[in-house]
Amino acid sequence: MEPESSQAESEAPAEKAVGEFDLESGTVLLNNGIEMPILGIGCFRLSSEEAENSVYWALKDGYRLIDTARIYGNEDGVGRGIQRAIDEGFVTREEIFVTTKMWTSDYDDGPAAIDASLQRLGLDYIDLMILHHSQPENDVAAYQAMEQAVTDGKLRSIGLSNYYEPEDFDRLISATTMKPALIQNETHPYHQSTVMKEHIAQYGTVMESWFPLGGRGNTQTLFNDEAISAIAAAHGKTSAQVILRWHLQAGNIAIPGSSNEAHIQENFEI
């Protein structure tokens, strides 16, 4: 006769699969074993002062993912916002997932670019650094610098942005060792990145959406889309909230940006 399983065994949680979005915890397991929040605050087009306030408000509202970039010119403000939140005691550094990006003009000296971002952010390590654009002449060397920084403890995860062709993605993959944890591309209901998402799945790489609410003049078009508006009305939500929820259910990390405290809170209530 087979022994009965203990209650503890029967109730043990199933292990998370790489790339699987957990909407209850609001996290996804990356291919390097690190958990990443799936909804965050983006800092594109924010001044340093705006970025400081937006990051502070976002962390106070419960966000734990922050996305910036060297070329945004606001890493210093992001760092101040993080420090304010830590100083006030409602979040610890370990609870925050900080992403920044290396700009193309820095690819020839990746180690210096990494150290400079760390200094501007005022951090000992960065949770995720991304190459901002494909640049075949020197992006492999820049990516290898990020790989070394993971080994050195300066970065925890590395990824890519604006690689839109499977062949371009594979070009870099074949020349490097660590698989990108994620790729950040323009993705929204009118540009769903289906081909790239299917391709990167074999590497355990997840999709992150920049301009998750449309961007490039498409935001109001998306907000006024009949299907999106109808869903919003049926659930007592805004179009923005419906679009962000679509991203999470579709398996896209979303990083809407805002310098408006009320909008930042609204975007998190999905």
pLDDT, one tens digit per residue, over 96-137 is 999 999 999 999 999 999 999 999 999 999 999 999 999 999
User: Which residue among 72, 107, 143, 163 is the active-site one?
Assistant: 72
**Residue 107 domain-assigned (yes or no):** yes
pLDDT in tens, 153-180: 999 999 999 999 999 999 999 999 999 9
Q: Per the structure, how many domains does the chain have?
A: 1
Whether 18 maps to a domain, the answer reads: no
Q: In the predicted model, what is the mean pLDDT of residues 84-98?
A: 98
pLDDT mean across residues, the chain: 94
83 inside domain: yes
Average pLDDT value for residue range 70-94: 98
User: In angstroms, rounded to a whole number, what is the distance separating the alpha carbons of residues 225 and 129?
Assistant: 34
Which residue range is the domain that position 124 belongs to? 30-268
CATH code, domain with 154: 3.20.20.100
- 206 part of a folded domain: yes
Does some domain include residue 9? no
pTM score: 0.93
Tell me whether residue 143 is one of the annotated catalytic residues.
no
Contacts for 40 with CB less than 8 Å, ≥ 6 apart: 58, 63, 64, 65, 66, 67, 97, 99, 253, 254, 255
pLDDT in tens, 211-221: 899 876 678 88
- Is residue 179 domain-resident? yes
Contact 78/255 with Cβ under 8 angstroms? no
DSSP secondary structure string for all residues of 152-176: TTSEEEEEEES--SHHHHHHHHHT-
**pLDDT attached to residue 220:** 87
**Does 16 fall in a domain?**
no
pLDDT score for 13 = 55
* Per-residue pLDDT at 86: 98
In a domain, 114, yes or no: yes
